[in-house]
Amino acid sequence: MWRHSIKPRPDWRDKVVEQGLVFPMTDMPDGTERPYWNESAWYEVTMDEVLHLEEVTEELYAMCKHAAAVMAAGDRFSDAQLGLAPGTLPLVQESLKRDDLSVYARFDLVWNGVEPKMLEINGDTPTGLLESAVIQWNWLEEIFPDADQWNSVHDRLVKWWGDQRAAGRFPGNEAHFFNSGAETTGEEAMTVAYLRDTAAMSGLATYGHEIEDLGWESAQRAFVDWGGRKIRTAFKLYPWEDMLDDQFGRYLLAGTEREPVQWIEPIWKTMLSTKAILPILWELYPDHPNLLPAYFDGPGDLLEWVAKPLHGREGSNIRIHTISGDDHVHDGPYDTDTMVYQEWSPLPSYEGNRAVIGSWIVDGAAAGMMVRESDGPITDYYARFVPHAIGTSPRPDDDTIKQWLTE
């Protein structure tokens, strides 16, 4: 992978906003702002590299599903040990047995040119989706109209909704979409609105709300929206560990619903959004070339390590320990009583820009990538999104793309 400098389009900011990216700039702590969408550079990958990343991503996802079943089996962890509300793990077990519908997830990978290594997976509330699926594709169309990009995210999302609708998986041919009104950057609302669009493109009737508007109708024993409409299928960009701690979470934990809502992502994805999965994967697949050693309760024999809270996001509450003793600590709001220790694998630096790869899974298939850059060793809230292109591969025709989507 190579990083190239390039002159940004003079009207890039207006364009990405028109395409739906509500925060093209990031407000910095010193009061200045800098581009979140950074098209002053682009990353070049080869087709061979893409094919390898696809293979790794799909294998890791299968391993994560196995690890989720092991974690939820009941003889290893309690709810409290995983920082979950009492009664969560039995619901996870049932969800896995039903093979509840799930649509997407994102791996974060560090790649220093040999084998990509899994840093973590966000299987419950992945963001960066619109930027990956739409904004960087539109950038490619304008800057390199004959080039290709590893990006079938949008097509696979629309196809997923359509396939499930055709199979009768959505009662009433409708779905609700929820984001939290407490999230003020617009990221969650934007991501949910985009997913709602992909569902609507498949022919579903859709309803969008803030999850704080979720209501409970006692007579029907059902969740309802702010207009009193019964909720039957719902996508939510709201962590399960928070959802089950909320006021209405007790109805889910107690199984009070007469006809349970089909939540997307399903509750088994809780196992894919906790850092506890990292040491479990290492136990199940020791010395796997795409995993980093990881442990509970301490760094073990690791000389350089990263301590991560179970439910941390945006790099918060992470501590990096190096042999030199030059530790990096990133403050945050998350509970640090239980930490997971993973071998430190430094992000590659491209002229001081530390790059991490986000690799997307849609319906179990590798679907594309995004690159985020940070100034320091921790990818945090201030990371920048940089587009990519496949350097030497011409864009495939429509028939080829349709064939890929069915494979």
Each residue's pLDDT tens digit, 378-401: 888 889 999 999 986 667 777 777
Pair 177, 209: CB distance under 8 Å = yes
Residue 184 corresponds to which tokens in the numbers above? Answer: 């003020």
Boundaries of CATH 3.40.50 in the chain?
A: 170-264
Query: What is the CATH architecture of 170-264?
Result: 3-Layer(aba) Sandwich (3.40)
pLDDT band at 405 (very low <50, low <70, confident <90, very high): confident
Question: Which pLDDT score, from 0 to 100, does residue 401 have?
Answer: 76
Give the mean pLDDT of 307-316.
Answer: 81
Pair 334, 308: CB distance under 8 Å = no
Return d(Cα 204, Cα 195) in angstroms, integer.
Answer: 12
Question: Which pLDDT score, from 0 to 100, does residue 319 have?
Answer: 87
What percentage of the chain exceeds 90 in pLDDT? 77
Read off the amino acid at residue 174. Answer: E
Question: Which pLDDT score, from 0 to 100, does residue 392 have?
Answer: 65
Mind listing the pLDDT tens digit for each residue in 8-50?
A: 999 999 999 999 999 999 988 888 999 999 999 999 999 999 9
SS3 content of the chain, % helix, strand, coil (to 5): 30, 25, 40
Q: CB-side exposure of 333: number of CA atoms within 13 Å? A: 2
What percentage of the chain exceeds 70 in pLDDT? 99
Does residue 300 have a pLDDT over 70?
yes
Return d(Cα 103, Cα 272) in angstroms, integer.
Answer: 13
Does residue 256 have a pLDDT over 80?
yes
Q: Which helix H or strand E contains 195, and what residues bound it?
A: helix 187-201
pLDDT band at 59 (very low <50, low <70, confident <90, very high): very high
**Helices marked H in 11-87 — which ranges?**
12-18, 47-71
Does residue 173 have a pLDDT over 70?
yes
Alpha carbon distance, N-terminus to C-terminus of the chain: 26
Instruction: Kindly give, in sequence order, each residue whose CB lies less than 8 Å from that of residue 164, ignoring residues fewer than 6 positions away.
Output: 101, 170
Closest by Cα among 172, 169, 125 to 311 = 125
Mind listing the pLDDT tens digit for each residue in 179-200?
A: 998 888 889 999 999 999 999 9
Give the mean pLDDT of 44-59.
Answer: 96
pTM: 0.93
CA distances in angstroms from 199 to 204, 330, 403, listed in the order given: 6, 37, 21
Give the mean pLDDT of 115-138.
Answer: 96
Return d(Cα 68, Cα 277) in angstroms, integer.
Answer: 7
